[in-house]
Amino acid sequence: LGSAPLAVIALSALIIGDGLADPVGRWLGAGKSTHYTFAYFGQKSVPGSLACFFATVMASAAWGKLFALSGHYGADFDQAVFLKSAAILAGAATLAEATSPPMVDNIVVVVACSVAGFVLSESGYAPFLTKSKL
């Protein structure tokens, strides 16, 4: 996918969103009332999950705008649809991060984000997600 918009969002989810979920969760989720457990996959926190979502959306917005301004995307690129898609994919990535077993969340986050992105692209809502000029 190279610099395709879907790759930008998936990498933002992996590097920024998932990367901030743990430290923010430990820092702001110190109270047990903010913790939850899915199956037997360890404790997660609401602040960590929210950090994952919002950091993914913000990083995707920034990188998406940068790539668009530098000419990486075609004429069919729509910034508003990209931002809505980034929010949807960030939701998928956050859900995957919140419910994944320890030590495999990195791959699960990227796969969930990519599958949701391909669905949006193939449905015609955001066909530019899988395209890049390079």
Residue 89, Cβ density class (10 Å: 0-12 exposed, 13-18 middle, ≥19 buried): buried
Average per-residue pLDDT for the chain: 89
Where residue 1 falls among pLDDT bands split at 50, 70, 90? low
Cα-to-chain-centroid distance, residue 100? 14
Q: Where are the alpha helices (DSSP H) in the chain?
A: 5-11, 18-28, 46-69, 79-99, 105-123
Percent of the chain past pLDDT 90, that is, above it, reads 57
d(CA 134, CA 123) in angstroms, rounded, equals: 23
- Model pTM? 0.89
Q: Are 47 and 24 in contact (CB under 8 A)?
A: yes
pLDDT digits (tens, 9 = 90+) for 60-104: 999 999 998 998 888 889 999 999 999 999 999 999 988 888 788
